[in-house]
Amino acid sequence: MPKADLDNENPTILNVSQLPSRRQKTRSARNGPDSKYDHILFPKQPWPWGPSKTTSSWPSDDDEDEVEEDAYHDEYTEEPIDEQEIYDLISTISDPEHPHTLGQLSVVGLPDIYVTPAPTERLDPRSLRTVLVELTPTINHCSLATVIGLAVRARLEQALPPNYRVDVRMKDGSHAQDDQVNKQLADKERVAAALENDTLRGMLDKMLETCA
């Protein structure tokens, strides 16, 4: 996109030191750039599950379910992921038109991230947790809102365990076509198809390059 077409030529930019932080970042991207969306396009079952024998409501059928039996219970104990950690995952995404991150441009903010049930509540690790991220595009008709939303959803689906459901929305009143963008970002099929689109994927790759 040519520089002259910037939707917002003078966005407010926060210094890195002003961004919310726990100083020591606890989690960072675990995959190289080439594999950034692989698990979304082709999720490889990082936590292989099958109906587990430990669930009391299911009678065990030992001979049949061997394949699903896995070292899951040994390897995985849930460390709750809190809002700061979610923020750390997405604030470093680059804006598609400015040479700054979504955190610096205040497109994402710590108070606009909601984890339900709250991370402090300890649950059975298979229970669903919902992460809601409300985005504030730099101006209210930003044509790239969908792309930013897609990058946030892609980033979180890549980094979070499979029992997290990611909802990405435009903050109320922040974007002229809120409903349309929100509906698109909530549609699994459209998101999957978008990630197979080379042009879009090229943009996302570039935006996610800055994620540690």
Interface stretch with other proteins, choices 1-9, 57-65, 141-149, 203-211 (CB under 8 A): 57-65
Q: Is 161 in the site for other proteins (CB under 8 A)?
A: yes
From the list 27-35, 142-150, 157-165, 169-177, the region that binds other proteins by CB under 8 A is: 157-165
Q: CB 43 → other proteins: shortest distance, Å?
A: 6
Report the C-alpha gap between 123 and 78 in whole angstroms. 9
Q: Does 42 bind other proteins (CB under 8 A)?
A: yes
Cβ proximity to other proteins, 26 vs 47, nearer residue: 47
d(CA 68, CA 82): 29
Separation CA 72–CA 84 (nearest Å): 26
State which of positions 89-128 bind other proteins (CB under 8 A): 125-126, 128
Q: Which structure tokens are listed for 13?
A: 């930019």
4, 67, 71, 212: which one binds other proteins (CB under 8 A)? 67
Site string for other proteins, 164-203 (x = CB under 8 A): -x-----------------x--xxxxx-xx--x-------
Angle (deg, nearest 10), helices 145-159 and 178-186: 30
- For position 73 contacting other proteins by CB under 8 A, the verdict is no
The amino acid sitting at 64 is E
Distance CA 25, CA 94 (A): 18
Transcribe 89-104 into DSSP letters. Answer: HHTTSBPSSSSSBTTT
Smallest separation, CB 191 to other proteins (Å): 11
When the beta carbons of 139 and 186 are compared against other proteins, the nearer one is: 186
Any idea which residue has 């065990």 for tokens? 60
Residue 181 near residue 175 (C-beta atoms within 8 A): yes
Count of residues touching other proteins (by CB under 8 A): 36
Confirm or reject binding of residue 64 to other proteins (CB under 8 A). Answer: yes
Nearer to other proteins, 65 or 82 (CB): 65
- CA–CA separation, 57 and 60 (whole Å): 9
Closest CA to 195 of 93, 92, 43, 28: 43
The whole-angstrom distance between residue 90's C-alpha and the CA centroid of its chain comes to: 7
Per CB under 8 A, 9 contacts other proteins: no
Binding site for other proteins (CB under 8 A): 41-45, 47-52, 55, 57-59, 61, 64-65, 67-68, 125-126, 128, 161-163, 165, 183, 186-190, 192-193, 196
